[in-house]
Structure 1
């Protein structure tokens, strides 16, 4: 271990009924700058452990009242003291005693008369393990607090921003519907349209953020039910007709009467919403987005095809990987966060399906996902 250890931060309890041994050990370890406590018999040792709370115990095996083995057994039986490492000091060299020592929880042995260098090395070894453990515990606690703080922050961001954003979104929708360009002039109408679009984007980004966080911290359960996928996707398309209309994009649908699948309705809506929103975002004005729903080889497949800017090969490699978090700009310079697709992949997988895409730069992309049919 290459950890910097400051000996003065660690206390060692020396337990031996021979006073000269205690003094010798005390001098050796004080020279190394360790804090020291001492005890001259087993009972005193147990009292000192409670009072001094040592980081390491050097424990003589042969003592008149309680043997070192008995002291160790009592310490190990108490959860408060069970973790304190023990090095036995022993004149016994028989294998049976060493085995017994390890059975009662010894961390190490030093035989008397002891070699000074060996003693110091063994003490440092145990202390470095204690130090490493302390570091792990404090880092774990720090991490726990950081994660708890982050999760709180995420949900505050997503929850508390959603309702004001929702209100702004409704107001802008109302204004657009009630203020034709003839009334307020082309320029103002265009600004209003832009503001409306931005609000829609921010709202869906917030929604994605909230769902992604919930999904990542395991707070989102998949609620499986039998649903008509055609109906679910159509309800999402209806919402996007206005946004598509503003960009003069026609959404075309190819579908059977119904496809009954088993999945989570909210998650599937989120996936359809993200794929459709991306298709519109990356489509050129006046083009068409085709939404296809079909059953292929026993699974339901939904694909969304656009004739937009497409994704180059470099970009294609980066999509759908959490670590690259890739984003590009739409045809009106709308920015994608890349989060939407990760969320789609997560949700589709949770529903037992797959997400994939094909794309050609300059020609457009097709994003598809599959969902198991109702059994």
Structure 2
């Protein structure tokens, strides 16, 4: 069933060298309310398409000087005209002409002499497709603008809030390192602890949001540099030790090698390690250890050497039914930490994206109540 159209909104170009055929088509279609323009030959038809921008062309095949097939061929090579549907008008009934017409981009054929009902059905069908295509294009453009606006908003929010939030985080860290629990009332100390923890979480969210938005917009450039991965991981662990100690969690580094050089975007991989260790602390229980291992292995699938980083915790783990949701952009899954820390779900998606941009892979294994291992691999040259 064709989409209902308003004939007054559409302009049809009739091209035929026989004036009686033009008059007949003008009468049949004009009576229905369509706007009709006409051309008596191929050259005039091309000019009318350019000047009038019709919504549909009814094109006679057999014309002197330039036949309908040549006109159609010229129309279809012009990007601005290629989408205009063409219905060939022909007295020909041989299959070769029909095949040639469709090869040139014809949308339909109508045989002479015209039957009013057939003509109107075929015309309305093509114009309903034009209408549907326009709706899709309009909605696609609206969606593109909405997504662009959303991404710009994310970027502005993250960028403009990141600097002041970094200052607040640093102030909170400094205050917490400067006071002893007994030097202020217990309730004040607990509020300061909460403010410090919240500032850490908000800063982490903004940092991830800014990087994620830049990555999705293609504005985050990948700048590979040689770096000792063991040293990089060790440096991140040192930064997180005070945060881990506040939850009575120990951080340990295990390595099968003293150093290993990889060629990666340093900031991206550092962000991956930070997110994985931060999550491990978030989901670990008091008086446990988060262990980060760095080891090399041969990948049997492609015969290449690679380095593996594994961040292990003995925390609450992830329910089996929730595990498929974790690295899935569509589900945007997140849970609360052992101290009710909130997450955005962006961190792991960002890690997955950054590792992939450095030709690696990210995966995890988890057992509810026993802990999780989050791993990523990077190729070695």
Give the TM bin, normalised by the shorter chain: 0.7 to 0.9
- Deviations for 1:19-50, whole angstroms, at most 9, x for unmatched residues? 54333322322343322234456666555444
> Is 1:303 matched up with 2:347?
no
**Structure 1 residue 73 displacement after superposition:** 6.1
Q: Distance in 1 between matches of 2:73 and 2:357?
A: 50
Unaligned 5+ runs, structure 1: none
Q: Distance in 2 between matches of 1:362 and 1:102?
A: 65
Structure 1 residues 102 and 246, CA gap change in structure 2 (3 angstroms): closer
> Is 1:324 matched up with 2:331?
yes
TM-score, length-scaled by structure 1: 0.87
Structure 1 residues 296 and 95, CA gap change in structure 2 (3 angstroms): closer
2:282 paired residue number = 281
Q: How many aligned residue pairs are there?
A: 374
1:129 paired residue number = 129
Q: Distance in 2 between matches of 1:101 and 1:371?
A: 55
Structure 1 residues 309 and 124, CA gap change in structure 2 (3 angstroms): same
Matched ranges for 1:31-110 at <5 A: 31-39=31-39, 45=45, 48-61=48-61, 75=75, 80-92=80-92, 106-110=106-110
- Deviations for 1:296-322, whole angstroms, at most 9, x for unmatched residues? 444322222222222222222332222
> Is 1:249 matched up with 2:249?
yes
1:290 paired residue number = 291
Structure 1 residues 66 and 346, CA gap change in structure 2 (3 angstroms): closer
2:264 paired residue number = 263
Contact 2:2 2:124 in 1 (8 A): no
Structure 1 residues 279 and 30, CA gap change in structure 2 (3 angstroms): same
Structure 1 residues 318 and 101, CA gap change in structure 2 (3 angstroms): closer
2:210 paired residue number = 210
**Structure 1 residue 352 displacement after superposition:** 2.9
Q: Distance in 1 between matches of 2:21 and 2:333?
A: 67
64-73 vs 263-272, greater mean Cα deviation: 64-73
> Is 1:25 matched up with 2:25?
yes
Matched ranges for 1:97-246 at <5 A: 106-246=106-246
2:374 paired residue number = 367
207-216 vs 273-282, greater mean Cα deviation: 207-216
Structure 1 residues 358 and 47, CA gap change in structure 2 (3 angstroms): closer
Q: Distance in 1 between matches of 2:161 and 2:310?
A: 32
Contact 2:208 2:350 in 1 (8 A): yes
Local SS of the residue matching 2:219: coil
- Deviations for 1:134-156, whole angstroms, at most 9, x for unmatched residues? 23332332233223222212211
- Deviations for 1:193-243, whole angstroms, at most 9, x for unmatched residues? 111111111111111122222223333333322211111011111211111
Structure 1 residues 22 and 326, CA gap change in structure 2 (3 angstroms): same
**Structure 1 residue 281 displacement after superposition:** 0.9
- Deviations for 1:167-206, whole angstroms, at most 9, x for unmatched residues? 1112212222233333322221121111111111111111
**Structure 1 residue 101 displacement after superposition:** 5.7
The RMSD of aligned alpha carbons is: 2.9
Q: Distance in 1 between matches of 2:100 and 2:144?
A: 39
**Structure 1 residue 295 displacement after superposition:** 2.6
Contact 2:2 2:125 in 1 (8 A): no
Q: Distance in 2 between matches of 1:331 and 1:63?
A: 81
Structure 1 residues 83 and 207, CA gap change in structure 2 (3 angstroms): same
Contact 2:169 2:196 in 1 (8 A): yes
Structure 1 residues 63 and 369, CA gap change in structure 2 (3 angstroms): closer
Unaligned 5+ runs, structure 2: 299-304
Local SS of the residue matching 2:285: coil
Q: Distance in 2 between matches of 1:284 and 1:80?
A: 64
> Is 1:351 matched up with 2:358?
yes
**Structure 1 residue 332 displacement after superposition:** 0.8
Structure 1 residues 332 and 23, CA gap change in structure 2 (3 angstroms): same
- Deviations for 1:222-277, whole angstroms, at most 9, x for unmatched residues? 33222111110111112111111211222122234222223221121111111111
